[in-house]
């Protein structure tokens, strides 16, 4: 789709593949291409799940510091909104999204992984938000998504120190969900994604929206979001198919409608 980010689809699983040598630095062009890929897979009804993958060596080593170094406040004030919007496009894909993390996922690379629903990391992977060491802070969602995922104290530890986290520690604190041998990262992510293929795609989208939107509001509002999503699913063919299959003790064949 783009020069440095493209979509590959196989067996109803889309891979958003990052390929900007040597370290998948996330410059403005890569950010925009990621957003284009995210919107494309979200709109493709034949895609049931998504894997984000940077290749065998590295997920993404962060933003392109050379590109940012000469930016003024005015430049970054304009660019930062685009940066967040590009990453948010991935976070809002209404399908299960799995980040397959090899090597480094640092700074913007870690923030990109945070936009996924699940994270599979290789045993030698390193994750972190080292922006503080440059005299800045995360600007693509790190202060917000990381704290929601691992809690504010652990997020502050990582962001205040800028330290790199091993795959084992990332698993312990909930920053990643699975750790596998490095060579198995992409395969493991695909296998996980395959569990969603053929599922009730409308219900999966509703569940994801209810969870993500509910985290941003008070409990009563979150319960109302859930109630509306829950009720709305009774207008779908998939709900009828699923409940009929249950009563008939058969396997449902969902249509995504």
How do the domains of the chain map onto residue ranges? 5-194, 201-248
Whether 36 and 14 have beta carbons less than 8 Å apart is answered as no
Using CA atoms, how far residue 199 sits from 1, 71, 103, 205, 240, in Å, is: 27, 46, 32, 11, 14
Phi, psi of 106 (to 5 degrees): -120, 150
| 5-194 and 201-248 agree in CATH topology | no
In this structure, of 72-76, 151-155, 248-252, the range with the lowest mean pLDDT score is: 72-76
Residue-wise pLDDT tens digits, 160-189: 999 999 999 999 999 999 999 999 999 999
Choice among 131, 169, 216, 248 that is catalytic: 131
Average pLDDT, the chain: 95
At 178, list the tokens.
């699975």
Residues 6 or more apart whose CB falls under 8 angstroms from that of 194 comprise: 11, 13, 49
Residue-wise pLDDT tens digits, 30-80: 999 999 999 999 999 999 999 999 999 999 988 778 888 888 899 888 888
Instruction: Tell me: pLDDT of 191 over 90.
Output: yes
Looking at residue 81, its pLDDT comes to 86
Cα separation, 45 vs 195, in Å, equals 17
Active site (annotated) includes residue 56: no
Looking at residue 180, its pLDDT comes to 98
Tell how strand 5-10 and strand 13-18 pair up.
antiparallel
Instruction: Tell me: pLDDT of 107 over 80.
Output: yes
Answer whether 0.75 is exceeded by the pTM.
Answer: yes
Choice among 111, 216, 224, 248 that is catalytic: 111
Q: Where residue 92 falls among pLDDT bands split at 50, 70, 90?
A: very high
Looking at residue 64, its pLDDT comes to 78
Residue-wise pLDDT tens digits, 46-56: 999 999 999 99
Active site (annotated) includes residue 111: yes
Instruction: Tell me: pLDDT of 20 over 80.
Output: yes
Looking at residue 224, its pLDDT comes to 98
Q: CATH number for 201-248: choose from 3.40.50.880, 3.30.420.40, 3.40.50.300, 1.10.12.10.
A: 1.10.12.10
Taking domain 5-194, whether its CATH number is 2.60.40.1480 is answered by no
More confident residue, 27 or 65: 27
Cα separation, 219 vs 181, in Å, equals 39
Looking at residue 47, its pLDDT comes to 97
Looking at residue 79, its pLDDT comes to 84
């Amino acid at each position: 789709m783009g020069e440095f980010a493209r979509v590959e689809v196989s067996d109803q699983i889309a891979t958003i593949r990052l390929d900007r040598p040597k370290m998948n630095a996330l410059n403005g062009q890569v950010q925009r291409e990621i957003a284009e890929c995210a919107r494309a897979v979200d709109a493709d009804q034949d895609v049931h799940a998504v894997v984000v993958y940077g290749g065998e060596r590295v997920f993404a080593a962060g933003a392109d510091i050379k590109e940012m170094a000469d930016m003024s406040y005015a430049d970054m004030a304009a660019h930062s909104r685009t940066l967040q919007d590009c990453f948010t496009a991935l976070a809002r894909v209404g399908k299960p999204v799995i980040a397959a993390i090899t090597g480094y996922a640092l700074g913007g690379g870690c923030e990109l992984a945070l936009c996924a629903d699940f994270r599979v990391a290789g045993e030698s992977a390193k994750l972190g938000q080292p922006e503080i060491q440059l005299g800045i802070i995360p600007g693509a969602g790190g202060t917000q998504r990381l704290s929601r995922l691992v809690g504010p104290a652990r997020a502050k530890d990582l962001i205040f120190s800028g330290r790199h986290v091993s795959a084992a520690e990332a698993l312990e604190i909930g920053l990643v969900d699975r750790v596998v041998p490095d060579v198995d990262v992409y395969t493991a992510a695909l296998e996980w994604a395959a569990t969603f293929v053929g599922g009730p795609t409308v219900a999966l989208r509703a569940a994801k929206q209810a969870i993500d939107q509910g985290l941003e509001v008070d409990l009563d509002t979150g319960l109302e979001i859930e109630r509306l999503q829950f009720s709305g699913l009774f207008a779908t063919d998939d709900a009828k198919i699923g409940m009929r299959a249950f009563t008939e003790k058969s396997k449902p064949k969902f249509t995504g409608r």
